[in-house]
Structure 1
Amino acid sequence: MSKQNIYDAVNERIIAKIKEGVAPWRKTWAGGLLPHNYDGRQYHGVNVLLLSMTEFENPIFMTYKQAQEAGGQVKKGSKGTKVVYFNVLQKEDKNGDIDKIPFMKQYTVFNIAQIEGLELPDFASHHSIMNDNERISLCEGVVQNMQNAPKIEENKGNNCLYNALNDIVKMPLIEEFESSEEYYCNLFHELAHSTGHKDRLDRKEVSALGRTKTDYAKEELVAEITAAFLCATTGIENKTIDNSASYLASWLKVLKDNHKFFFQSAAKAQKAADYILNQTK
């Protein structure tokens, strides 16, 4: 695959995630450990982004060959993740001078959860993935006082999501986030989704079956703006504003600066925030 084709492939993957309503750089619960190879080498550059787009709890990856050499075996049916290898070839020209020729290629890695017969390496298993985050009373008050609230489940892991079918918000433990503020920003985002349930504000982008990509995009924008409103209300907007701003800026670019679409989403977000804050009229 040529260099340009690799660039195109990477761009397509990132754009696809953004179009699905997922900002790849928004994953903030990696427990302080960036993606690493099984031998302890940290991934850099675009590979950090590509591997952070996966849904695995532990950011430890390896090639098929590395897994075998370490005594493990990739589980049957596992789908690997493409990463990029960069290097520079040195070639002597006819004058004896050394030309440096940069090149790159793609290869496939698998997460340790996809490998049988291997344990977490020492550097990862001994790495502290918990932070001394504390509950913020004002944020807790918002969550606890929400009318007709969904059930909130906290478990160790890396998934923040709202399950509309079961009306459940699922969150990682607060200790797994980089900060308390990041935890509540993500929780507010998922609670925003829950306001679209048929028994609340009944947004079709949440409650309807067979949602389209456009419906998904609209709902993600509403949830992000709602979270920004709630962060501002609870005084933690300065802790999360860069995250939210980059997310919204990316959406505006994808949506070709469709201002009408943005304002419609903001209006829905205001209703969602009011619902969570018990300020509905």
Structure 2
Amino acid sequence: MSQEQPAEKKNRFQISREVQEEFVNSVAENMLALADTAGKWQKPWTADKPMGMPFCVTTGRPYGGANMVKLMLTSIVKGYQDDRWLTFKQLQQVQADHPARDMKIKKGAKGVKLLRPEELAFIVGEDGKWQYLTDKQLKEFAAQKEQGLGIPPLPEVQRMTLFYPFTVFCAAQIEGFPPKEQQTHAMTTIERNEFVERFIACTGIPVEHHGGDAHYNPAVDMVKMPFPERFTMPEEYYATKLHETYHATGHATRENRKEKQAHNIKNFAFEEMRAEMFSMLAGARFDLPMPESNSAAYINKWNQTFSGGDAKAVFQAAAEAAKVLTIMHQFEMGEQPKAAWFPRSETWPALIEEQAQRDAVTGAHMAAPAQAVAARSTNDPRPAPLSFEKSAEAFQAADDPVSKARIILQNPEFLEMALKQDAETARSLASLCDSFAQTLSMELDEKNRMRAAPSLPATGTEAPVARMRM
């Protein structure tokens, strides 16, 4: 009888790789699942009030980056109303501090796995083996190198970040957990709207109102917004305004997202995906809906089309979206946001005044959405999506490739046509839009010809008319 071979012990690199893959997949699955229910001004989260930023109970520090995204998504999916999180060991510490309380994790409750980074420093010897360095060794090594010691020359110090899992539980999952010692002030609707206005103004990103659609124009670095009275509800206006402001944060003078990549339809699609994810997180944080656009429902489609379903692409987009949400939180707390591009606090009053003057020039009144909704029936349906012909008119009227590309991405038929023209998605936006314009013109001619053709009785012998698809 043969004996089973013992399982090979995994090294730290294998463990790090596996926990990263599990973490990335879980974030991507939650994000894609929520995207399926988003759009049409619906909120895909179940909580009935805005959520706070997740933070550790024992340290008071908020979670950051990808861990913050994971916890916010979990709260959205589970409907948690508490933003406090802690490990089992930290729960034991809280229990020790409150001996009169009987605290226990609810039966069947499952924790959330987060990632703890650990940076390794090492040198590679002549035999190819790695020698790990402690902090003390690192200092000694740096001092020797600075003094020119070491013959032959000392090898370069290399660094690698590994990730290890740890599990946290939400305070909402713990029976008998103490209530918050200091309840955070929940902003009223008016306070929330004023905060969004103030935040956007203090970013230094100019906003100008006009009679067209909402978009960000990178050529002049400006957000263009429809007049507030064109929105059914104030929430719609501010959700859309934040969405377009997120696009503006990708400018070369800020997060520099777009300038690092080629300007093609693939990269533009990922920028739209990042903006939709930001809209989802900001919506849960400030009780705003996701802007009504087909792109909200296309997060999954874009991921499958442009990255082959790579979960890392969704994860990276979520992590980048979280950066701007963190900036908003720091601003909300009265702090100077840590992002290097964010204007200094002493300039904020002047920036707010500049935006107020732009609004005055265009005649935009921020109270208009509330007045508009009072004048409408709450049962009025949302406007139907633009027809093929209306979308074509908008495409032809757009005056820059970025605006044209967004119209392509937000129309299912347009996107299919564009992908057939540009299967590798590597063509520049300008050349793709020029080529697409010719195809669109032919498609419109074909649609008009079909409508104008006289209707004849069917004889059963006519060959079907071929529908043009480029």
Q: Which has the higher helix share?
A: 2
Bigger Rg, which one: 2
Task: Output the TM-score relative to the length of structure 1.
Answer: 0.48
Task: Output the TM-score relative to the length of structure 2.
Answer: 0.31
